[in-house]
Homo-oligomer: A and B are copies of this chain.
């Protein structure tokens, strides 16, 4: 299963009212469509714009509406932090605040990884007072980005963000979102940590040095996207398959881990348009030799969309297409099914995830191939799969490879 993040789009004037997929040079995607069965796929349901987390959960066969439990823990787990069931985790930003706690830079001028790591080291020395049973781990990831994981017996995700999402606002107090003692305790712990972090950061040598260099200090940690690891059955158990994920994006890696999949590290895979597509697809072909199911996730298509750059998106799709050509040329056509889809529509125009369905095409020895000749949003809509939901794809693929159980007799 190849997921091209945000690859689907809407017609764009600049491309002659074509979508980037329609405008792209994509012989391999078209070959897939010509030999396969095509359709439209609503990652969650029609009109609902999904996140990459909920969409990937759905594409792995889960009912995201039931099992999704926030982004924080998936992101933390995907970043390599150990997250256990019940742990409450946040996505964090190093930000700059003034003396009135007003945010002046949400990213502390995209502070360097090395500086952020030094700050994180100091922050992890904070001792929690209010609840001696709770512990935490803070890890900086890329630039200003970080994750915070809190472990304890009575925690809750029913708490608000401290990140107001824009400069000029005050860093917010985290509030319990229900009346449970767990939510109140979690809010207290988080507010205590935020306060203690700020005290350490404002006088930290790294920040004093930044001020000297006329750089905004990383004087505050903003938290958002609270979550826990979803309580879901590993796909290896549901379908009796050995499954592996190839993805650079921490969030997608976290979803794969939550689904009980191994996650491969590929040298040169960066989650950007400059990623090493060849390395990823070679790793995929290799992984297929010892796995029943391989998820290959490509982030680059989404990056171009969020940048609002249709021509870059067309270009990236061309690179993805070459990558797929290698894949189709190097898998055993008598024994392998290849499905290509997107996790959501990302509009170059709005720069947002949108609720339009995405194209899906499945090729392989015994699919009911249809008449569709091109892989794009409008051609696939005429395909033999009709309109399916994200969570249907995994049962369809697993059935094709003989890994589903009969319901009834």
User: Chain A: residues with CB nearer than 8 A to chain B?
Assistant: 10-11, 19, 40, 44-55, 64-65, 68, 71, 225, 251, 347, 349-350, 352-356, 366-370, 377-378, 381-382, 384-389, 392-399, 402, 404-409
Contact = CB atoms under 8 A, between A and B. Distances in A.
Contacts of A409: 51-53, 71, 225, 251
B407 A49 contact: yes
Given A47-B396, A68-B407, 8 more contacts: A46-B395, A47-B393, A47-B398, A47-B404, A51-B406, A51-B408, A352-B406, A386-B386
21 contacts: A10-B366, A11-B369, A19-B368, A45-B392, A46-B388, A46-B396, A47-B397, A47-B404, A50-B407, A50-B408, A51-B406, A54-B408, A55-B408, A64-B407, A71-B408, A355-B395, A355-B399, A355-B404, A370-B378, A382-B382, A386-B386
Contacts of A389: 46
Contacts of A10: 366-368
B368 A399 contact: no
A55 to B, nearest CB: 7
Contacts of A366: 10-11, 347, 349
Contact of A399 (B49, B51, B395): B49
A349 B370 CA distance: 20
Contacts of A71: 408-409
Contacts of A356: 368, 399
Contacts of A349: 366
B370 A407 contact: no
B378 A408 contact: no
A392 B355 CA distance: 11
A47 B381 contact: no
B53 A408 contact: yes
The 5 closest A-B pairs by CB, nearest first: A51-B408, A47-B395, A54-B408, A386-B387, A355-B399
B407 A48 contact: yes
Nearest to A224: B409
A44 B352 CA distance: 30
